[in-house]
């Protein structure tokens, strides 16, 4: 029986298998990275109803996070400030600034400003701000240095793997009690040792079971 294909065709089979393997691995890597929070969520900076500068308020003026985001020390959520909090200052400051027109309109009508959450976790995940504050985790660990942000931008993926990395090794994120909301804190050479002492004193032992964050 005559041969239909030349023998050299047989040498192409390993090459085709290798090409197929490369394509499959490339596709898996593409989906793993480009569909991950590290790629899709980091850098998220939505347009807000008012061009509020955290750099000016938290950085230049040094306003503490807790003044606007009340409840962060005692509750699960860090509240988005209501119009009343803004008006504590702006009833006297910036009254003629056209950029603040939505603020004054909200104050007059009683309709809340529709701020867009930048750090908004999925509904299927549970996160308690107060628990992390008690463990002396700094705001900067999750939110980045917002005191230098003209527009608040997500700089951390807030993914499950990212959270688990911290639960497995929280010491690098633990800081002195009076520095939790500060953005000028720098870890010292003894920071890890001091953090380990705090973990021992406060019995800080983050769990990694699914039920901790998925309730």
Tens-digit pLDDT profile for residues 98-110: 999 999 999 999 9
pLDDT of the residue at 13? 63
Tens-digit pLDDT profile for residues 122-146: 899 999 999 999 999 999 999 999 9
Q: Which of 121, 34, 115 is nearest to 76 (CA)?
A: 121
CB contact at 8 A, 113 and 83: yes
Q: Could you say which residues of the chain have pLDDT below 70?
A: 1-13, 25-40
pLDDT of the residue at 74? 93
Say how far apart CA 133 and CA 73 lie, in whole Å.
6
Q: For the full predicted model, state whether its pTM sits above 0.75.
A: yes
Kindly calculate the radius of gyration of the chain based on its CA atoms and give it in whole angstroms. 25
- In the chain, what is the straight-line distance between the N-terminal and C-terminal CA atoms, in Å? 69
CB contact at 8 A, 118 and 45: yes
pLDDT of the residue at 14? 72
CB contact at 8 A, 135 and 170: yes
pLDDT of the residue at 41? 80
pLDDT of the residue at 18? 73
pLDDT of the residue at 113? 97
Q: Which of 112, 133, 123, 121 is nearest to 178 (CA)?
A: 133
């Amino acid at each position: 029986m005559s041969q239909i294909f030349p023998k050299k065709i047989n040498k192409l089979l390993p090459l085709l298998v290798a090409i197929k393997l490369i394509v499959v691995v490339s596709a898996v890597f593409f989906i793993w990275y480009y569909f991950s929070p590290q790629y899709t969520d980091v850098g998220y900076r939505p347009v807000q109803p008012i061009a509020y500068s955290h750099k000016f308020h938290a950085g230049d003026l040094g306003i503490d996070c807790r003044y606007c985001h009340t409840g962060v020390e005692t509750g699960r959520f860090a509240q988005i400030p209501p119009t009343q909090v803004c008006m504590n200052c702006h009833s006297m400051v910036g009254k003629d600034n056209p950029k603040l027109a939505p603020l004054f309109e909200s104050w007059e009508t009683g309709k809340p400003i529709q701020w867009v959450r930048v750090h908004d976790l999925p509904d299927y995940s549970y996160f308690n701000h107060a628990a992390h504050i008690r463990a002396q985790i700094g705001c900067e660990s999750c939110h980045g240095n917002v005191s230098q942000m003209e527009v608040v931008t997500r700089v951390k993926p807030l993914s499950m793997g990212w959270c688990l990395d911290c639960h497995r090794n929280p010491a690098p994120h633990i800081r002195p009690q009076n520095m939790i909301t500060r953005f000028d804190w720098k870890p010292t050479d003894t920071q890890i040792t001091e953090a380990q002492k705090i973990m021992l004193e406060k019995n800080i032992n983050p769990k990694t079971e699914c039920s901790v964050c998925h309730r």
